[in-house]
Structure 1
Amino acid sequence: MKTSVWFVLTPPVLLLDYAGPAEALRMAVDSGAPFDLHHCAPLSRLTTSIGTALDGLAPLPDTLPPNSLVIVVGTHETPEPGASKAFDAVTDWLKTVPAADARIASICSGALLLARAGRLTGRRCTTHFSLLDLLKHEEPTARVQDDCLFVDDGDVLTSAGITAGVDLALYLIEHYAGAELAADIARRQVVYQRRAGEYSQLSPWLAHRNHMHPAVHRAQDAISQDPARAWNVTDLAQAAHVSARHLSRLFAEHAGITILAYQQRLRVARAQQLLERPELTIERVAEQAGFASARDFRRVWRRYCDTPPREAAARTRQTGSRE
């Protein structure tokens, strides 16, 4: 079943806030992600932050399909309530239309519209660093976070400014369509797969990427594209364009994990996927995931998983059959 995604635009929309996440989701759809994309606004034609205009936008819908995803895009200006009919229209729409089963996300200053609509009462949330104080003023009960790229508070997600919207889009793609597709879209957009620190444990494929060091990202890209390969530090250092000794130090400092542990986490994640195929023996799973033997696989598995491999796979299949 497809998820209806509704990009909600307000003039003057920040073009990168809109285009980056929209392109990520469009690429995901092209690769088979279960999204049905819509683009709506209080006006059929509205201005953007760079002076150009967007035409042909759908009106704000009177109702939404079940389990929709609403993404409120940021703007270049944030007028006071009552000063802009467009802003007031979006605020009123957010108050009444998205039902309890809808997830609502915001990019950059879009969080201010959520606050005005009462959607951030008591919520953990974030926005662009320059708007944090304004967000606290708009919704004093909100628990505003100032140290992360985005916040997932269940059915409400908020992101920091500009390119953080792409990080949020990748997170949503992972949630709805899987981590491998999210990683593929990140590579196609030539962006790093960064994550806020409190979310790093959710996906081994995207964990330990909440840093800005290009050499470490290059090494992580190489490992994630082929985790089964017997990578040595020298080969990774060549991919990262630094010395082997320097890469080991940088990896621990910026990724917060050793190179070996990072590769082992990805191999375990790959093994978890392979274990869902009951025709594969433990030996074949170990081999295809890059482990030297089934014994080595089980030893590493126990470091990260409490349940034995086959039992964990059986539980996953049972959960999937119930859904």
Structure 2
Amino acid sequence: MHRTPIFFVLTPHFLLLDYAGPAEAFRIAAGLGAPFDLHTISPTATLLSSLGLEISNLAPLPQELPSGALVILCGVMKSSDNYQLPEAQAVVDWLHSMQRPDLQVACICSAAQLAARAGLLDGRRCTTHHTLIERLRQQAPKARVEEDKIFIQDGPICSSAGITAGIDLALFLIEQLASASIAQEVARHMVIYLRRNGQEAQLSPWLAHRSHLHPSIHRVQDAISHAPEKHWSVADLAAIALMSERNLSRLFRQHAGLGMVEYQQSLRIAHAKKLLENPSHSLEKIAELAGFNSIRDFRRVWAKFEIGLPRR
């Protein structure tokens, strides 16, 4: 199995949560079997965090990065001052020298400014903390800087809004690099309120509707997500939830925000979208594998969640 090397990059007065939040998410994912190798690097071996805590024994910026590496840039407090320090410029120069097509970069909060100065955001959509939007526009005039987004992915470059949005971005990347089920487990382990952007869905259907703490409803959602193609009866799901069918239907809608049928349909469509990547599958075969009774049923449900079913 291909392993993804992940490098967290720190500079002086880094925001502790910008680093610790995403790093813990990836650490938990690795403990659950995700193929991640975690590293923390910096231009200097010792740094002070935003809370005055010192972190030491940091590895230096590597002269080369392995294939498929993910670089995560952590933001700082008072970025207008701290990004003028020589350590920040060293990171900018290093990023510029590391550019290549397979390199993935994720910017947490104010760290988008480092990517901007290295030219990584040119021609791309991006975002940052809401108080830094105009500054990022000045530093990346060739980028499309967007407001009111939790995070944005444009090609190999990701950027996120303020502080805790780095955890949302980490969950998104864990799903991409490992699996949706591991991302779900990490979110539940960290008791994270999973958020979606009002204008653009930032989290996939596999992570949506999990912003509650009801253990029985989570068990039902786990069962459906592990086998979305299965024809679950309410009785089957009620047995998993250890409650009556009527109570389950009421509590599922109350906590998940939609009914069980609609929830399963959203996961079946997500599963079907993945199956569409295989050009050898006909639409009839995809409908069958995704759990739909007919191609007509598949088209009807697809129209609820997506626009324009591809032709086969």
TM superposition score normalised by structure 2 = 0.76
Residue aligning to 1:102: 103
Q: Quote the Cα distance in structure 2 between the aligned partners of 1:149 and 1:184.
A: 21
CA offset at residue 202 of structure 1? 7.3
CA offset at residue 226 of structure 1? 3.0
Contact 1:222 1:236 in 2 (8 A): no
Amino acid at match of 1:143: R
Contact 2:152 2:202 in 1 (8 A): no
Residue 115 to residue 233, structure 1, CA distance change in 2 (3 Å):
farther
Residue aligning to 1:68: 69
Q: How does 1:272-291 map to 2 (within 5 A)?
A: none
Residue 262 to residue 220, structure 1, CA distance change in 2 (3 Å):
farther
CA offset at residue 37 of structure 1? 1.0
Residue aligning to 2:222: 225
Q: Quote the Cα distance in structure 2 between the aligned partners of 1:180 and 1:130.
A: 34
Residue 199 to residue 218, structure 1, CA distance change in 2 (3 Å):
farther
Q: Quote the Cα distance in structure 2 between the aligned partners of 1:226 and 1:271.
A: 18
CA offset at residue 258 of structure 1? 5.1
Residue 117 to residue 224, structure 1, CA distance change in 2 (3 Å):
same
Q: Quote the Cα distance in structure 1 between the aligned partners of 2:74 and 2:263.
A: 34
Residue aligning to 1:45: 46
Contact 2:126 2:152 in 1 (8 A): yes
Amino acid at match of 2:96: K
Q: Quote the Cα distance in structure 1 between the aligned partners of 2:13 and 2:180.
A: 33
CA offset at residue 238 of structure 1? 4.1
CA offset at residue 30 of structure 1? 1.1
Q: Quote the Cα distance in structure 2 between the aligned partners of 1:273 and 1:265.
A: 13
Q: Quote the Cα distance in structure 1 between the aligned partners of 2:266 and 2:120.
A: 37
Amino acid at match of 1:54: I
Give 5+ residue unaligned stretches, structure 2: 225-231, 239-244, 279-284, 304-311
CA offset at residue 233 of structure 1? 6.0
Q: How does 1:186-205 map to 2 (within 5 A)?
A: 186-196=187-197, 200=201, 203-205=204-206
Helix, strand or coil for the counterpart of 1:74? Answer: coil
Give 5+ residue unaligned stretches, structure 1: 252-256, 277-281, 307-314, 316-323
Residue 43 to residue 237, structure 1, CA distance change in 2 (3 Å):
farther
Q: Quote the Cα distance in structure 2 between the aligned partners of 1:273 and 1:91.
A: 37
Residue aligning to 1:254: none
Task: Pick from 230, 234, 237 the counterpart of residue 247 of structure 2.
Answer: 234
Contact 1:200 1:207 in 2 (8 A): no
Once the two structures are overlaid, the 10-residue window that deviates more, 90-99 or 35-44, is 90-99
CA offset at residue 65 of structure 1? 0.6
Residue aligning to 1:59: 60
Contact 1:9 1:72 in 2 (8 A): yes
CA offset at residue 95 of structure 1? 1.1
Residue 27 to residue 220, structure 1, CA distance change in 2 (3 Å):
same
Contact 2:41 2:59 in 1 (8 A): yes
CA offset at residue 214 of structure 1? 5.0
Q: Does 1:15 align with 2:28?
A: no
Residue 99 to residue 219, structure 1, CA distance change in 2 (3 Å):
same
Q: Quote the Cα distance in structure 2 between the aligned partners of 1:42 and 1:30.
A: 28
Helix, strand or coil for the counterpart of 1:157? Answer: strand
Per-residue CA distance 1:189-214 (angstroms, 9 max, x = gap): 111233445663873212466xxx75
Once the two structures are overlaid, the 10-residue window that deviates more, 92-101 or 49-58, is 92-101
Contact 1:6 1:39 in 2 (8 A): yes
Residue 83 to residue 147, structure 1, CA distance change in 2 (3 Å):
closer
Contact 2:67 2:102 in 1 (8 A): yes
Identity of aligned residues (%): 44
TM superposition score normalised by structure 1 = 0.74
Helix, strand or coil for the counterpart of 1:58? Answer: coil
Q: What's the Cα RMSD here?
A: 3.4
Residue 233 to residue 77, structure 1, CA distance change in 2 (3 Å):
farther
Residue aligning to 1:122: 123
